[in-house]
Structure 1
Amino acid sequence: MFQLRSFLGYGEDIIIKPAIPEGLLSRMPILSYSQVVTLARENNPFTQNIQKRMLEASRDVSQAKADRWNATLFVSFGMSGQEDRFAQAFNSNNWRNNQVVNVGIKIPILDWGKSKGKVKIAEANREVENSKIEKEQIDFNQNVYLRVQNFNSQSKQLELAKETDIIAQQRYNTSIEAFVLGKIDVLNLNDSQSSKDEARRNYIEQMYLLWSYYYQIRSLTLYDFLGNKEISADYDKIVD
């Protein structure tokens, strides 16, 4: 309770009474891998990062090819003037008739294969990057698939845990009655109580795993499957 109150920002005067939610299984949908992976590709930053890296790799190749025929245009202009005072030397009336204007262009004719080598390196880097991207896409799809399978399977696990919890509670109630009547001893009663408590802990643990898998999928897709809507935020309202 201390840890939960600290996490929620409550004071010591707040008493927390946890309650197990009812009807959770009836609310949980059965997710489709195709739907989840489509939403993940549309809304997850992973897709934008992949596209950015592919464009950057292609850009480097195009830049290397363009640099092979890189021509430099240059223009230079010079003038001189004479006057007793420095500032007046730049007056147009004092310029001499020896102004010089040079216009030229530099075109690489022979670079001993250096530019061609840069293109090959850029193309090789692009191939390496594409291989990495392809592997990351496969890993991403597999990660989505496993999370969907875990979520769908966890609903069944929670249902079994709930049935086990109900049976253990009924057994414990029966054991109490039998103990009062003197039909069982304390050891059997304690065993029944331990089984009841273990079944309840397991039921809560399975419920935790179900929610954990669900919110992992939500974070990948930015989609609320319970409400059937995309997750969005009004940042202007949050700032205000």
Structure 2
Amino acid sequence: MNSIHTIVRYKIILLCTFILISSVCYAQNKRKISLAYIIEAVKENSNSAKEAEVTYRKAKLNYEIYKYSYKPLLKLALRPINYNRNIIQRYLPESNQDIYRPQQTLFSYGKAIIEQKIGFTGGDLFLYSDISAYRSFGPNNTRQFTTVPIGLGYTQKLLGYNSYKWERKIENLRVKLITPQLAYELEGISSRACKLFYNILTIQKQLDLGKENINICDTILNHSILLEKLGRLTKSNLLQLKVEKLKAEQQVITLENKLSIAKMELFSFVNFPMDEDIDFEIPNSPKAITLSVDDVIGYSLENSQLIQKQCLEIVLAQQKIDKARKERYADMSLDLSIGLNQTSENLSKSYQSPLRQDVISVGITIPLIDWGIRKKNLKYAEELLHEAILKKEDIDAKIRREAHFLYRDYNLHLQTLKLIQENRKLAHTLQKESKERFIIGKENLETVLKANQHVEEIELDHIKALGDCWNDYYLLRQYMLYDWERNIKIDLECVQQE
């Protein structure tokens, strides 16, 4: 009897050794990918990251266009030919009658102008020079040149609403959102990649446990056949073990398909070609947060994109109120230009002895009866501001609440992970001892199967807890835009260096 047990033990040892060597060789042929590598790759290659960068560049270009709009603008307006042939009506005072006769005219025009916005006053200053030529054909053939060698003009609204002032304030707020917005989007992309990564790790761990369960079932089954022949194991226990092995094989087939789909989803998101010969490393636990809950809430409020965007909405509403209030009673504008001009039948003479020209125009529009439209416009603008302020208060409260919950969940998940890691060691020890005791006939089959099931559950719990911790880690970074490990604010340069 002892010789039979010895032979069985040797067979089991050889089978386990062969399985271990085969699995190690197979694993060595696979390339390992870490979470840090995926996070770096998704920021560089994913379409989502590229779209965020395009949005960033568009916003930068929009701000540059705004800045360049305050640079002097030189332009040339030309109308080389304006030919007109028609029948015109003329009154003859000698005969006190109207006559109709054909007329042909040719008109040409050119103007060079330099424009400059004056942001302080909200007006436009311009310097210009123009020339026009007129010629008629027929019995009264005439030719005339009119020139303005130099002229200086200014146009301004007089009632106090300065659109350029508000434009500057709004654009300066928008440009402050550009870089943090890109960093926020990239951190959000990292969080999504982390979820996809841990989805793969969960399925991969289930698959590994399934394959290991098949190997364990094979080992125990080979030994159980001998025990059944010796009458030390019932046939029902042997059948139960075969059922467990078939269930494990079916699960492996299903999980292999799910793993391929999960990999395809991640590789599509990262914008990588599909590669089945890649394994994913299980990362270590993330570091505990070194900030207090008040610090987390403070950074979240300071760097929240939602709050900053809502502050911009408040300024836009204030702009509408200012415009509606200052345009409520009257609209007044000023157009002023001074310069020199001359006219002559000869081009050269049209620039000789120019005469001074002054143009001053003040326009006033006073609404007499508008049925309260302007008053209602002001009231509507005030309601928009009130709504924007209330919405900012709601966002502020939401950020405080979510930052607090996220901080608490992160710490709870770290504590849970630590307990699971301790339980994981005990579960593997129990599995090993129950299998060894079953082989020597000191443990029943149910205990072995329960130990295997407990190991499978605790391994999956371990992956889930790790995933929860890392997901909260990236969510906290996105919320705060602050890296507590390096004690620096997360901006575009920080994201690019990682």
Select 1:216's aligned residue among 475, 481, 489: 475
Distance 1:123 1:17 in 2: 56
Change (3 A) 1:213 1:74: same
Distance 1:13 1:72 in 2: 72
Determine if contact 1:164/1:199 at 8 Å carries over to the other structure. Answer: yes
Kindly state the Cα deviation for residue 19 of structure 1 after the two structures are TM-superposed: 4.3
The amino acid of 2:434's aligned partner reads: S
More helix by share: 1
The amino acid of 1:220's aligned partner reads: Y
Where 1:16 maps in the other structure, the secondary structure is strand
Look up the match of 1:105: 363
1:50 aligns with 2:310: yes
Larger radius of gyration: 2
1:72 aligns with 2:321: no
Determine if contact 1:31/1:152 at 8 Å carries over to the other structure. Answer: no
Look up the match of 2:301: 41
Distance 1:186 1:211 in 2: 38
Where 1:50 maps in the other structure, the secondary structure is helix
Determine if contact 1:30/1:152 at 8 Å carries over to the other structure. Answer: no
Look up the match of 1:124: 383
Q: Where do 1:154-233 residues align within 5 Å?
A: 154-233=413-492
Look up the match of 2:279: 16
Kindly state the Cα deviation for residue 52 of structure 1 after the two structures are TM-superposed: 0.7
Look up the match of 2:396: 137
Distance 1:13 1:48 in 2: 44
The amino acid of 2:459's aligned partner reads: R
Kindly state the Cα deviation for residue 104 of structure 1 after the two structures are TM-superposed: 4.3
The amino acid of 1:146's aligned partner reads: F
Listed one character per residue, the Cα deviations across residues 174-217 of structure 1 (whole Å, up to 9, x for unaligned) are 21222122122222211111111111110111011001001001
Look up the match of 1:29: 289
Distance 1:128 1:233 in 2: 32
Distance 1:47 1:178 in 2: 63
Give the percent of matched residue pairs that are identical in Structure 1 and Structure 2: 20
Distance 1:8 1:160 in 2: 37
Distance 2:441 2:351 in 1: 124
The amino acid of 1:71's aligned partner reads: M
TM-score by length of 2: 0.39
Distance 1:73 1:8 in 2: 59
Where 2:281 maps in the other structure, the secondary structure is coil
Kindly state the Cα deviation for residue 58 of structure 1 after the two structures are TM-superposed: 0.9
Change (3 A) 1:46 1:104: closer
Change (3 A) 1:137 1:171: same
Aligned CA-pair RMSD: 3.7
The amino acid of 1:202's aligned partner reads: D
Gaps of 5+ in 1: 94-98
Where 1:184 maps in the other structure, the secondary structure is coil
Structure scoring higher RCO (CA < 8 A, sep ≥ 6) equals 1
Distance 2:466 2:486 in 1: 19
Kindly state the Cα deviation for residue 15 of structure 1 after the two structures are TM-superposed: 4.8
Where 2:327 maps in the other structure, the secondary structure is helix
The amino acid of 1:61's aligned partner reads: I
Distance 1:8 1:105 in 2: 61
1:63 aligns with 2:323: yes
TM-score by length of 1: 0.76
Where 2:279 maps in the other structure, the secondary structure is coil
The amino acid of 1:154's aligned partner reads: H
| Count of residue pairs the alignment pairs up | 226
Distance 2:447 2:383 in 1: 72
Distance 1:203 1:13 in 2: 24
The amino acid of 2:438's aligned partner reads: F
Gaps of 5+ in 2: 1-203, 205-259, 338-342
Change (3 A) 1:42 1:175: same
Distance 1:133 1:47 in 2: 6
Where 1:72 maps in the other structure, the secondary structure is strand
Distance 2:326 2:431 in 1: 81
Change (3 A) 1:105 1:145: same
